[in-house]
Amino acid sequence: MKKVVIVPPMIIIFHVSFAYRPFSDYSTINSLQISDPSPRILRLSIAKGTNPDYVPPKKIETKISMSALTAVATPRIVELSHPRIKIEGLCFERERSEMPIHPISCAALLAKPSPRIVALAKARPLHQDYLPPRDASWPVSYAAIHSKISPRIQELANPNTRTPMHIIYYDPEVFKVKPAALKTQCSPRIRELAEPVRR
């Protein structure tokens, strides 16, 4: 139901009222009752069977033997199982200042390198055509200091002379007629072409 109320100054107010229907009792409606499933629905609800040729994955079971369960670790294994204790800073205490930080065994001090080790210890020689990098600054030669510039090089060194822009875009004599053009005589062909086209 719609009502229109006019309130000065000429303000129109629309008042709308709705009439709601009473709630229906869905339990009494036969069309909304749950019906029995059809045979098609029952057939689709059956779970898909397993393929007869299906082989399930093998179970990974680690079987520990009784000897391993009842074994007793030896003192050496217990010693190796402990974590390695590292000295802080990876440095060893030195007895004298001239001794190295890391202790060197006597066998390493008295060892003599083989000819192969000596050959591998030599630095790789440079290529015969190798040129060392050039220094950032080098002395200028006497010929370069006392050289003279040829007239051709002097000509090429001069900047290109261009006409000023105001002369290129503005020619004050653009409407001036040359004397030769004033004395010329028009040919019959040009006079014929100068006449307007007759339509």
Handedness of CA 41, 42, 46, 52 (dihedral sign): negative
Rounded Cα distance between 7 and 15, Å, is 13
Share of the chain above pLDDT 90, in %: 32
Question: Is the pLDDT higher at 143 or at 85?
Answer: 143
State CA 184 to chain mean position distance.
Answer: 75
Give the pTM.
Answer: 0.22
Contacts for 91 with CB less than 8 Å, ≥ 6 apart: 101, 102
Highest mean pLDDT, choosing among 102-111, 120-129, 166-175: 120-129
Using alpha carbons only, what angle is made at residue 48 by residues 47 and 49, rounded to the nearest 5 degrees?
110
pLDDT digits (tens, 9 = 90+) for 110-127: 999 999 999 999 999 999
Rounded Cα distance between 108 and 70, Å, is 45
pLDDT digits (tens, 9 = 90+) for 66-87: 998 899 999 999 999 998 776 6
Amino acid 107 reads A
Distances 5 to 1, 2, 15, 33 between C-alpha atoms, Å:
13, 10, 8, 47
Amino acid 110 reads L
pLDDT score for 29: 54
Helix-then-strand count for the chain, H and E:
10, 2
Amino acid 78 reads V
The SS3 assignment for 6 reads strand
Q: How many CA atoms lie within 13 A of 112 on its CB side?
A: 1
* pLDDT at residue 130 tops 90: yes
Domain positions in the chain? 1-31
72, 81 Cβ separation under 8 angstroms:
no
pLDDT digits (tens, 9 = 90+) for 6-59: 444 444 444 445 555 555 555 555 556 677 889 999 999 999 888 889 988 887
